[in-house]
């Protein structure tokens, strides 16, 4: 009916079938047939054709306001549905790892609010393994995960890499070095996140450390960055982390690993089936923000000032 209503409003505006047909870009006979069909459906006459110049009937005058309002509501409905389809409305349940820097979280939420102001982002702090479980259970729409991830039912956005270094007390003799080889850490305990939070990444860290000459005397577990820094300060071991974590505590130092053998790989992931339309947007924005982050100059940094720690890499799906 909406097409017939548009035809009716054109004729009501021009009060001339010929000019209305020209305005609509159609021939006059189909326009007349459209108006007649609308009159039959509504059971009223909309135009008085008994005179030389057509005029609106009482029903026709009433229909002008009703048709205008109805078509405006239809347009609004189409706009809302289009935004929902494009992921610009509704709620996006998103997970991020506990070690995500505050500046990344701020930029991520700010950029999403700019690009999709009607989207409500429910951001949750979750370990990678928990995110994978919730994604599979349809209780999470998208997650920012530490690789490797063994989940064939997920799609992945751009993978971002960050080089890890050694976090150690500033008073440690090793802090005098510009960079540290893993073998230099012999005899130290290693402080790491619990294996259950990201099993694949946990195993890769220990395997890489052993391959480069460092077998920890003991592995101590820290579930959050603050506890990890506390254990480092207490002399209970060293940690492999990104520089942003070390910058939270001035009494620890961060030194790069010789040859950069440890690179954390992060990307957004979402279900292959029934995906939230905003998930790919979240993935692209997150990768862009992580790539933009540059460390501020700090005494703990042994690398060149302003060096970019993040690298965006695009990994074929079969290798993710």
For residue 262, count CB atoms less than 10 angstroms from its CB and return exposed for 0-12, middle for 13-18, buried for 19 or more: buried
DSSP assignment letter at 309 = -
Report angle CA 302, 304, 306 to the nearest 5 degrees.
120
> In angstroms, rounded to a whole number, what is the distance separating the alpha carbons of residues 266 and 137?
21
Q: Say whether pLDDT at 320 is over 50.
A: no
Most distant CA pair in the chain: distance in Å? 105
Q: Say whether pLDDT at 55 is over 80.
A: yes
DSSP assignment letter at 171 = T
Q: Supply the pTM of this predicted model.
A: 0.67
- For position 251, what pLDDT does the model report? 96
DSSP alpha helix (H) spans, the chain: 2-14, 17-24, 28-42, 58-85, 102-115, 128-136, 199-211, 225-233, 243-246, 279-292
Residue appearing with tokens 């998930």:
279
Q: What is the mean pLDDT of the chain?
A: 87
Is 146 in a helix, a strand, or coil?
strand
Which of 3-12, 143-152, 295-304 has the lowest average pLDDT? 295-304
Give Cβ neighbours of residue 209 (< 8 Å, ≥ 6 apart).
Answer: 182, 185, 190, 215, 216, 240
Q: Say whether pLDDT at 310 is over 80.
A: no
What average pLDDT does the segment 110-139 reach?
92
CB 133 within 8 A of CB 217: no
- For position 300, what pLDDT does the model report? 39
Q: pLDDT tens-digit profile of 56-107?
A: 999 999 999 999 999 988 888 887 778 777 777 789 999 999 888 888 899 9
DSSP alpha helix (H) spans, 148-265: 199-211, 225-233, 243-246
Q: Which band of pLDDT confidence, cut at 50, 70 and 90, is reported for residue 317?
A: very low
- For position 102, what pLDDT does the model report? 85
Is the sign of the CA dihedral 316, 137, 195, 145 positive or negative?
Answer: positive
Q: pLDDT tens-digit profile of 14-40?
A: 999 999 999 999 999 999 999 999 999
Q: How far is CA 86 from CA 82, 101, 157, 278, in A?
A: 6, 28, 17, 7
- For position 294, what pLDDT does the model report? 45
Rg of the chain (C-alpha set):
31
- For position 85, what pLDDT does the model report? 77
Q: Which band of pLDDT confidence, cut at 50, 70 and 90, is reported for residue 316?
A: very low
Q: pLDDT tens-digit profile of 226-256?
A: 999 999 999 999 999 999 889 889 999 999 9
> In angstroms, rounded to a whole number, what is the distance separating the alpha carbons of residues 155 and 272?
6
Pairing of strands 55-56, 190-192: unpaired
Q: pLDDT tens-digit profile of 252-305?
A: 999 999 999 999 999 999 999 988 999 999 999 999 998 876 444 333 344 433
* Token output for 244: 């942003």
Residue appearing with tokens 């021939």:
27
The sheet carrying 219-221 orders its strands as 219-221, 190-192, 238-241, 165-169, 252-256
Residue by residue, DSSP assigns 104-136 as HHHHHHHHHHHH-TTEEEEEEE--HHHHHHHHH
What average pLDDT does the segment 152-173 reach?
93
Give Cβ neighbours of residue 253 (< 8 Å, ≥ 6 apart).
Answer: 167, 168, 169, 170, 172, 175, 246, 299, 300
- For position 293, what pLDDT does the model report? 65
């Amino acid at each position: 009916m909406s097409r017939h209503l548009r035809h009716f409003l054109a004729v009501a505006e021009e009060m001339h079938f010929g000019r209305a047909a020209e305005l609509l870009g159609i021939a006059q006979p189909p326009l007349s047939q459209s108006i007649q069909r609308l009159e039959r459906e509504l059971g009223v006459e909309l135009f008085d054709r008994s005179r030389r110049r057509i005029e609106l009937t009482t029903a026709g005058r009433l229909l002008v306001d009703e048709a205008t309002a109805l078509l405006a509501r239809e347009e609004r409905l189409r706009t809302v549905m289009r935004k929902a389809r494009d992921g610009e409305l509704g709620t996006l349940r998103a997970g991020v790892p506990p070690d995500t820097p505050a500046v990344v979280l701020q930029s991520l939420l700010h950029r999403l609010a700019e690009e999709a102001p009607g989207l409500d982002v429910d951001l949750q702090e979750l370990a990678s393994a928990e995110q994978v479980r919730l994604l599979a259970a349809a209780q999470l729409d998208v997650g920012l995960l530490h690789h490797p991830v063994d989940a064939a039912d997920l799609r992945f956005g751009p993978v971002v890499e960050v080089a890890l270094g050694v976090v150690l007390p500033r008073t440690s003799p090793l802090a005098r070095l510009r960079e540290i080889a893993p073998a230099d850490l012999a005899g130290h305990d290693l402080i790491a996140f619990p294996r259950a939070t990201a099993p694949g990444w946990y195993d890769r860290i220990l395997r890489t450390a052993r391959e480069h000459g460092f077998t920890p005397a003991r592995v101590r577990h820290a579930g959050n960055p603050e506890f990890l820094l506390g254990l480092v300060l207490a002399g209970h071991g060293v940690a492999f982390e990104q520089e942003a974590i070390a910058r939270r505590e001035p009494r620890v130092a961060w030194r790069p690993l010789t040859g950069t053998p440890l690179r954390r790989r992060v990307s957004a992931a979402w279900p292959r089936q029934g995906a939230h339309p905003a998930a790919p947007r979240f993935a692209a924005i997150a990768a862009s923000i992580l790539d933009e982050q540059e460390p501020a100059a700090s005494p703990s940094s042994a690398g060149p000032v302003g060096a970019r720690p993040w690298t965006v890499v695009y990994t074929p799906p079969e290798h993710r």
